[in-house]
Amino acid sequence: MSGDDVIRGFSAMGKSDIDAVWSKKFIREALASGELIASEFIDPASVGLESEWVAAMRHPRLPFVSYPYEWSFNMLKDAALTQLRLTRAALADGVGVKDASPYNVQFVGSQPVFIDAGSFEVRKATDPWYGYKQFCEMFLYPLMLQSYLGVQFQPFMRGAVNGVSPDTMRKLLPMRLLRRRKGRLIHVVLHAAAQNKFADTKVDVKKQSAKAGMSAAVLDATLRKLEKLVGELSLHDKESTWSEYSERAHYVESSLDEKERFVRDAVASSHRHQVWDIGCNDGRFSRIAAAHSDHVVAMDADPLVVDRLYQSLRNEKNKSILPLYVDLSDSGGGIGWRGIERPGIFERGKPDVVLFLAVIHHVAITFNIPVVAQLDLLRDLTPEIVIEFPHADDPMVKRLLLNKRDGIHSDFNLAEFERLLGERFDVRSKMLLSSGTRTIFHATRKN
Amino acid sequence: MFSYLDAGTGSMIVTAIAGGVAGIGVAAKMGLQRFKSKFTGKGGQESDAGESSDGDSSSHD
């Protein structure tokens, strides 16, 4: 990486592929549509690469790197369709795509972008599609879990960097007589059986597939059918805890207006590079922040809420707000090799400002994460916060406390909050919202 | 970067089957090759010289 760019080096072997591939029509079209990340060949020596790197490419740095376990259903679905579309277009141009990993797709705002120029290779007419199994494990099965069973896929994807295996999926997804689970028989049952049956590797699959008459036409038919199958998978959940909720019910409209003004004044005081909106709900405040920053990462602990936000951003072709599913009470760890292959969310960005609106009481009371721990997180994360604190007599706080043991959250009150906040941040401005039970603060970190 | 690919015969056969009419013949042939290899010990590994398999021809990445 150098400055605002990312440099990719190619070895001699990689260079022959990339040279042949880069002249193809599908690459030009994917670059023009933005589906493939902008890429420019440069002299490897000019960026200090050693002589073993015989070619190099420069890409713009992504605003924020996100992972499939942070995406909502329709984000993973759109990433899957991007992968399939590119694989098909490449195939038509005689190019193979080596893998099918959602980690090769990133989102710029609501737009999926394929980032791995190294995935392309010149293919022989009879080569198989090596990415099929990976496509099933990391795109198709997670989407099926959600669409057919109503089970969130995110914990599976976070639990295993390689996704859900055919054998596991077969055990998870039972047959249903009345409403057929499309794709189950071939991609799950047969796939698992074939994996088990032919699990040895002492076979030259390329030769075998050539001998059997594998062709681009066969693979195109497979990819086309997969596109149709994925296209038909949908999110059936219509309601979740927070999707219908909106803390807004607790505000009189004037309260909301004044809160918007407060947030706008705080964020607009200078131009921001990156803003995080933790607990974004429908993205109302993310949009305000987006008007005064390069990009916003909008996080919520409810994947359905995130999905709705994603869909509305996608309809607007928004490229500055990235919606992500992040549960603050269970976030931050890296996964994969040594836990650093895919680093945790806090390692991937440095927000200039964090909006923490109508969140602290949920995390404190429902998840028992002390207010002081939340303020420590914010101090470590960002130099500036806009934070809303509902007082002990706020209707939502009362509701959250209803079934908790008496006295367990007796320190959840405004005076104690202000004391803890003041130890870590300097308060620039604060305002009692007209509901009378919430105070909002704009604060900067103490040096 | 660390993506793991198992281009095993099983997945290859299913890829062909998933192609429907276009792929069914290919899948059948791949299956047949594997079936033969159970008896001959070499059908799955094409070898012009007809040498027996000793496991060193399995390179893919």
**Strand pairing class (A384-390; A425-432):** unpaired
Contact indicator for A323, A283 with CB cutoff of 8 Å: yes
* pLDDT higher than threshold 60 for residue A186: yes
pLDDT of B59 reads: 37
Once rounded to an integer, what is the mean pLDDT over residues A228-233? 97
Count of A–B CB contacts within 8 Å?
Answer: 140
Confidence of residue A10 (pLDDT cuts 50, 70, 90): very high
Distance from CA of A136 to the nearest CA of B (A): 10
pLDDT > 70: percent of chain A: 94
* pLDDT higher than threshold 50 for residue A433: yes
Cβ neighbours of B51 in A, within 8 Å? none
Contact indicator for A308, A243 with CB cutoff of 8 Å: yes
On whether any CB of chain A is under 8 Å from the CB of B29, the answer is yes
On whether any CB of chain A is under 8 Å from the CB of B27, the answer is yes
Within 10 A of A433 (CB to CB), how many other CB atoms are there?
Answer: 21
Residue-wise pLDDT for B3-59, tens only, equals 344 556 788 888 888 988 888 888 888 877 777 766 665 544 444 433 333 333 333
Flag the least confident range among A72-86, A231-245, A384-398. Answer: A231-245
**Three-class secondary structure of residue A362 per DSSP:** helix
Q: Is A317 exposed, middle or buried (0-12, 13-18, 19+ CB in 10 A)?
A: exposed
Residue-wise pLDDT for A19-54, tens only, equals 999 999 999 999 999 999 999 999 999 988 888 899
Inter-chain CB proximity B19 and A222 less than 8 Å: yes
Q: Among all residues of chain B, which has the CA nearest to that of A131? A: B5
pLDDT of B58 reads: 36
Inter-chain CB proximity A208 and B18 less than 8 Å: no
Flag the least confident range among A196-205, A325-334, A351-360, A367-376. Answer: A196-205
Distance from CA of A187 to the nearest CA of B (A): 7
Question: φ, ψ for residue A279 (rounded to 5)?
Answer: 85, 50
Output the pTM of the full model.
Answer: 0.91
Inter-chain CB proximity A128 and B15 less than 8 Å: yes
Cβ neighbours of B20 in A, within 8 Å? 221, 225
Cβ neighbours of B13 in A, within 8 Å? 194, 198
* pLDDT higher than threshold 70 for residue A276: yes
Q: Which residue has the tokens 């916060």?
A: A385
* pLDDT higher than threshold 70 for residue A245: no
Confidence of residue A202 (pLDDT cuts 50, 70, 90): low
On whether any CB of chain A is under 8 Å from the CB of B49, the answer is no
Nearest to B17 among A186, A200, A226 (CB): A186
pLDDT of A252 reads: 58
* pLDDT higher than threshold 60 for residue A16: yes
* pLDDT higher than threshold 80 for residue A224: yes
pLDDT > 90: percent of chain A: 79
> What b/e readout covers A376-410, taking b as 16+ CB neighbours within 10 angstroms?
ebbbebbbbbbbbbbbbebebbeebbeeeeeeebe
Number of Cα atoms under 13 Å in the Cβ half of residue A409: 29
pLDDT of A208 reads: 79
Q: Among all residues of chain A, which has the CA nearest to that of B7? A: A130
Question: φ, ψ for residue A19 (rounded to 5)?
Answer: -60, -45
pLDDT of B47 reads: 41
Nearest to B20 among A132, A162, A221 (CB): A221
* pLDDT higher than threshold 60 for residue A299: yes
Nearest to A195 among B8, B20, B27 (CB): B8
Q: Which one, of A194, A91, A170, A100, lies nearest residue B27 by Cα? A: A194
On whether any CB of chain A is under 8 Å from the CB of B2, the answer is yes
Tell me what ipTM this predicted complex has: 0.76
Question: φ, ψ for residue A77 (rounded to 5)?
Answer: -65, -45
DSSP states of A66-77: --GGGS-HHHHH
pLDDT of B7 reads: 56
* pLDDT higher than threshold 50 for residue A322: yes
Once rounded to an integer, what is the mean pLDDT over residues A224-250? 77
Q: Among all residues of chain A, which has the CA nearest to that of B29? A: A212
pLDDT of A272 reads: 96
Cβ neighbours of A169 in B, within 8 Å? none
